[in-house]
Structures are given as structure tokens and as C-alpha cells.
């Protein structure tokens, strides 16, 4: 397969590992999530350009819309956590209360 695809997929895999492994700050996980979305977007755009299928150019746009919503939700969660605890350390999330 073309080298550029492997490059972008590698970027995606590294971001995935970054999402799943994080030490203390929750915001690093969210950052890597954004990285995943970025690499996916680039992959989709390149793919639809190389295949020469005009209707598939809408796919990256839809991906972008959903990514924006999800980023907003993630940031809202972050804000609530840092409202109650002051920091976003993951070890603070040990009280199961609503």
C-alpha cells in the first residue's frame, strides 16, 4: 500500500496509544483524542482525493462536525472536574457520587 497511508495510520496508532496510556492529567488523554481525529481526517481526505469518487468528499466534513461536538463534551467534563477539584488529576476521580 502507498507509503503515505501507512504514515498517517502510524500517526493514528501513536495517538491511540497516547490516549490509552496517561499518567496523571486527564487533559493529555483529550489531546491525544484530538490527535486521533486529526489523523483520521487527513486519511479520509487523501483517500477520497485518490479514489476520484466525488461523493465521498463529504465524509471528512461530517467527521469534522462530530469531532467538534465531542471535543466540546470532553472539555465540559474537564471543566466540571476542575471545578470540584481544582486540578484534573485522575486520582481525584475516586468518589462515586452524583
Partner 1 sequence: TLTLTSLIILTLPITTTLLQNNKTNCFLYTTKTAVTYAFAISLIPTLLFVQSNQEAYISNWHWMTIYTLKLSLSFKLDFFSLTFMPIALFITWSIMEFSLWYMHSDPHINRFFKYLLLFLITMLILVSANNLLQLFMGWEGVGIMSFLLISWWHGRTDANTAALQAMLYNRIGDMGFIMMMAWFIIHLNSWEFQQIFLTNPKNTTLPLLGLLLASAGKSAQFGLHPWLPSAMEGPTPVSALLHSSTMVMAGVFTLIRFYPLMENNLTIQTLTLCLGAITTLFTAICALTQNDIKKIIALSTSSQLGLMMVTIGINQPHLAFIHMCTHAFFKAMLFLSSGSIIHNLNNEQDIRKMGGLYKTMPITSTAITIGSLALTGMPFLTGFYSKDPIIETANMSYINTWALLITLIAVSMTASYSTRIIFFALLGQPRYPSLTQINENNPYLVNPIKRLILGSIFMGFFISMNTIPHTTPQMTMPPHLKFMALAVTLLGFTVATELNNMTHNLMFKQPSRMHTFSTTLGYYPITTHRILPYLSLTMSQNLATTIMDSIWLEKMIPKNLTTMQKTAASLVSNQKGLMKLYFLSFLLSITLGLLIAL
Give residues in contact with partner 1 (CB under 8 A).
16-17, 19-22, 29, 90, 93-94, 96, 98
The smaller minimum CB distance to partner 1, of residues 25 and 48, is found at 25
**Cβ at position 23, least distance to partner 1 in Å:** 9
Nearest to partner 1 of 47, 90 (CB atom): 90
Whole-number Å distance between alpha carbons of 63 and 67: 6
Considering beta carbons, is residue 16 or 64 the nearer one to partner 1?
A: 16
Q: In angstroms, what CA-CA distances link 77 with 6, 55, 66, 71, 97?
A: 33, 36, 17, 10, 15
**In the complex, minimum distance from the CB of residue 43 to partner 1, in angstroms, rounded to a whole number:** 18
Buried-state track 61-83, b at ≥16 Cβ within 10 A, e below 16: eebeeebeeeeeebeeebeebee
CB of 20 to partner 1, least distance (A): 4
Amino acid at each position: 500500500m502507498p507509503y503515505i497511508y501507512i504514515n498517517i495510520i502510524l500517526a493514528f496508532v501513536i495517538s491511540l496509544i497516547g490516549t490509552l496510556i496517561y499518567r496523571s492529567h486527564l487533559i493529555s488523554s483529550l489531546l491525544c483524542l484530538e490527535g486521533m481525529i486529526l489523523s483520521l481526517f487527513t486519511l479520509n481526505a487523501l483517500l477520497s482525493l485518490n479514489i476520484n469518487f466525488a461523493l465521498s468528499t463529504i465524509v471528512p466534513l461530517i467527521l469534522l462536525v462530530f469531532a467538534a461536538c465531542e471535543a466540546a463534551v470532553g472539555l465540559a467534563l474537564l471543566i466540571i472536574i476542575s471545578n470540584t477539584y481544582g486540578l484534573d488529576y485522575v486520582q481525584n476521580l475516586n468518589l462515586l457520587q452524583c
